[in-house]
Structures are given as C-alpha cells and as structure tokens.
Amino acid sequence: MTQPNKTPTEKTPTELDDAQLNRFSRQILLSDIDYAGQLKLAQSHALVIGLGGLGSPAALYLAAAGLGQLTLVDFDQVDDSNLQRQIIHNEQRIGQNKAESAAHTLAQLNHFCQTHVISHQLENEALDALIQQVDIVLDCSDNFETRYALNQACLKARKPLVSGAAIRWEGQLTTYDFRHDDSPCYECLYKPGTSNDQSCSRNGVVSPLVGMVGSMQAMEAIKALIGLPTLVGKLLLIDGLTMQFRQFNLKQDPHCIQCQKK
C-alpha cells in the first residue's frame, strides 16, 4: 500500500508467474478470458470512487479477480451504521478512513494487487490528472455532485465509467464507454438540478442490494477491460423485492451539453 495522495505508475507486468496462474486458474479456464485476458487484468488500473456499499463488493471482486492496481478514493470514516452493508470494513475499523480500511482488507485478499489510497476530496484538476493514469473508473459514490464530476472527467479523458446506484430495494447499473463516440453519458440520462435527496441515510437500503449492484459493477469493469460486451447503451434496473431485472435502451441525447464537447 502506498502513502495517501500518491498514485505512482507501476511497472506493467508482461507475463503471469506460476503463482498467478494458480491463483487465477478458474478465470483463465474461461475461453473469453484465457491467459491473455487475465494478463490484461494484471496490467490494468481501476479507480474506485467511494468505498461504501457499492465500492465494498466492487473493490473486493476487482482485487480478487486479479486487477493489477486499484486506486481507492474516500474521505469519509467508517461508522457503525455503515457495517450493515459496507462489508469491506469491520468493527475494528470504526473511525478509520474508508479508503485506508478498504486497502487493508484488499492486501489480505490479494497481495498481487497494488492499492493506492486517496483519503481527501479531489478537486477537478486533481481528478482529471488521476483519471488520466487509470484504465477504468467505477462510480460507487452516493451523491449527484460526484456523479456529474466523474462523468465530465471520464468523458474528457475518454475512459470507461461504470455507474451503479442502489436505494431501498432498487438498483441501477450501466457503463458509459467514452472510448466510443456514440456512448451516451450520465448527463444524457440525468440533467443537473436533479434533487439530491436520494440518499441511503434518508431513504434506507437493503443490505444485499448494494452487494448485487457493486458486484455487477466489478463484472462490467472486468469485461470492459478485456474487451467483452458491456451494458453500454443499456440501463439495467433491478428490483430486489420482486427480483425483476429490466433493461432499457440508452441513447445519446443530441442536446446533451457534455456529449457536444466530444
């Protein structure tokens, strides 16, 4: 684990060693992943914004799956009321910074994965610089301000953005892949000025729902990194109460201010 605020570029591995071949053998067995896909994951660097309900399973699965580097960003501290759903933390970590707590857990899960911790809020320029250094971004935040900032920064850098949200029994998930010109963006879907009261603290959330959505964010990230099909152009809505999963087509809004900047 490196010190806060630093995101050094590690030497990119050119092959997997015997220990990695053994550790990731169940994924290498899949023809869609194979050795080349697993090596690609080892060479990849993902940025996880928010180590709460969504970021906990997303970071755990990305590390377990063999991502080479993860940068974890959260300026909040672990609170007792978080532990109902933020499973990367534990009772001993109450009061500790969430990104640091998450990095400790990941170090015990997969020592092949290099983690970098950022425990303060990022201003726009710092966010732009950070996104330039990574291959993919996972929006596991809980507020619109961060979601708009990430959307704009990823669009500018043309990096894929996996966006998840969960509240009450309802989850949603999509991937905005700005490597492609025709990808919609977050602002095609949600215009600024939207009310910000859709928070777990006000509305509540069922514990495993964030596990479902966060795990699927990791799934989308792995596929986007390897070049497999993702939810780009589709919005997945999950109803945990009825267990209905519905997909809607998402198109770029021709009037979207952000997309016009491309």
Helix extents (H) in the chain: 18-23, 25-28, 34-42, 55-65, 98-109, 124-133, 144-157, 186-189, 200-203, 207-226
Backbone torsions φ then ψ of 185, nearest 5 degrees: -125, 175
According to CB under 5 A, which one of 165, 185, 200, 225 is a site residue for Zn ion? 185
Stretch that binds Zn ion, among 1-9, 107-115, 180-188, 206-214 (CB under 5 A): 180-188
154 binds Zn ion (CB under 5 A): no
188 binds Zn ion (CB under 5 A): yes
150 binds Zn ion (CB under 5 A): no
By beta-carbon proximity to Zn ion, the closer residue of 61 and 178 is: 178
DSSP track, 145-161: HHHHHHHHHHHHHT-EE
87 binds Zn ion (CB under 5 A): no
CA 208 to chain centre: 17
By beta-carbon proximity to Zn ion, the closer residue of 61 and 176 is: 176
256 binds Zn ion (CB under 5 A): yes
Subset of 96-115 contacting Zn ion (CB under 5 A): none
Please state whether beta strands 114-118 and 136-139 pair in parallel, antiparallel, or not at all (unpaired). unpaired
**Number of helical H runs and strand E runs in the chain:** 10, 8
Instruction: Report the C-alpha gap between 123 and 141 in whole angstroms.
Output: 15
Closest approach, Cβ 125 to Zn ion, in A, equals: 22
What is the three-class DSSP state of 144?
Answer: helix
Subset of 25-54 contacting Zn ion (CB under 5 A): none
What is the three-class DSSP state of 22?
Answer: helix
By beta-carbon proximity to Zn ion, the closer residue of 188 and 236 is: 188
Instruction: Report the C-alpha gap between 3 and 17 in whole angstroms.
Output: 27
Stretch that binds Zn ion, among 90-98, 178-186, 213-221, 228-236 (CB under 5 A): 178-186
Closest approach, Cβ 43 to Zn ion, in A, equals: 30
Closest approach, Cβ 41 to Zn ion, in A, equals: 29
Count of positions on this chain that bind Zn ion (CB under 5 A): 6
Closest approach, Cβ 253 to Zn ion, in A, equals: 6
According to CB under 5 A, which one of 38, 115, 217, 258 is a site residue for Zn ion? 258
Instruction: Report the C-alpha gap between 5 and 127 in whole angstroms.
Output: 11
Question: Which positions lie near Zn ion, rule CB under 5 A?
Answer: 185, 187-188, 256, 258-259
